[in-house]
Structure 1
């Protein structure tokens, strides 16, 4: 495994995106445990894209306008729904002092859906990982599995760091209604912006 892959993967993972935004929001509204749960859910959401890339399904989606558009618009609708839920103070991002097992599971499921409904993720695996697999590699699938596993582990660790940081400053924020109000609007605007950007995304 090359240093170039590790550095590139870290930049991709650490860059603010839907998963990072959701992890921060979950940690700020429900605490550090919810941030870790969100990181876990977002990481699990990578698995379908990884499997699709290995099975060649990502290539089909890359060439099929209908398949790409279907998944893309599902993602757009879900992100806009998330923005609406944040503004309503409901759903997985509602401020809650108590974090029950049911709520924790919901945070994981939401994180999973956020990534599984991102068509760019499977195409990312299709375009990104092969660059680090030599044409004469004797076991390309095994190496791809190793690279994918490393990418997932890095995603989880980085997102957990984001979540723990957000959780550590949570008490200073949730006790200030005005700050929480603006923060909620910011998260809602972030989800809406990501949804709009996805709407204009091309294969």
Structure 2
């Protein structure tokens, strides 16, 4: 990997695995969608989230993420867009009725919505963009002739480990889904819990500072 301008690639992969195993918004979102609508929807949510990571990887390689580090206005705009989106999803889950989502009629629509929401939730989170900018360059050789290629390889590697774990989460969520089919009241409580947590993530993102 030295030829590509990457240093300590093994340590990088170990760090990626550790970060992916740490519960966060992405973990919770995949489990919520998979548990409520089935593993296929969970897979779509996982693919959407990792599609957002592709956007952040490209942005980091092209230097767009650097703007977020230096521009308070850009950071603030993206932060509030992401926060508003999370609050909107949370409120929909809190206010929705159990009869409004039936797997037999909403499955296809659910997959598309899960992918779009997963991708937008990830793309509109400035914390993710700043993470990419702060984390990936630590493993790029300072004298690398083309650091953007090194950043791309590191980003794709991070996405690979993240996608693998995301698919495992979607499979676990499918088991939760089957349990919800036999216990509708549990589904209503899950909606309330999921909506509350998403609201919390949105509010936390809204008050997050740039520094």
The answer (yes or no) to whether the contact 2:94–2:196 under 8 Å persists in 1 is no
1:182 and 1:11 map into 2 onto residues whose CA distance is: 30
Number of aligned residue pairs? 200
Match for 2:45 among 13, 19, 38? 38
Residues 99-138 of structure 1: matches in 2 within 5 Å? 99-138=106-145
Asked if 1:143 is matched to 2:150, the reply is yes
The answer (yes or no) to whether the contact 1:29–1:96 under 8 Å persists in 2 is no
Match for 1:96 among 102, 105, 115? 102
1:11 and 1:17 map into 2 onto residues whose CA distance is: 12
Q: SS of the counterpart of 2:103?
A: coil
Asked if 1:85 is matched to 2:100, the reply is no
- After TM superposition, the score normalised by the length of structure 2 is 0.89
1:102 and 1:176 map into 2 onto residues whose CA distance is: 23
Asked if 1:21 is matched to 2:15, the reply is no
What is aligned with 2:175?
A: 168
- After TM superposition, the score normalised by the length of structure 1 is 0.92
Stretches of structure 2 that go unaligned for 5 or more consecutive residues are 2-8
The answer (yes or no) to whether the contact 2:37–2:110 under 8 Å persists in 1 is no
- Aligned-residue CA RMSD in angstroms? 1.6
The answer (yes or no) to whether the contact 1:24–1:162 under 8 Å persists in 2 is yes
1:29 and 1:35 map into 2 onto residues whose CA distance is: 9
What is aligned with 2:69?
A: 62
The answer (yes or no) to whether the contact 2:33–2:114 under 8 Å persists in 1 is yes
**How far apart are 1:136 and its partner, in Å?**
2.0
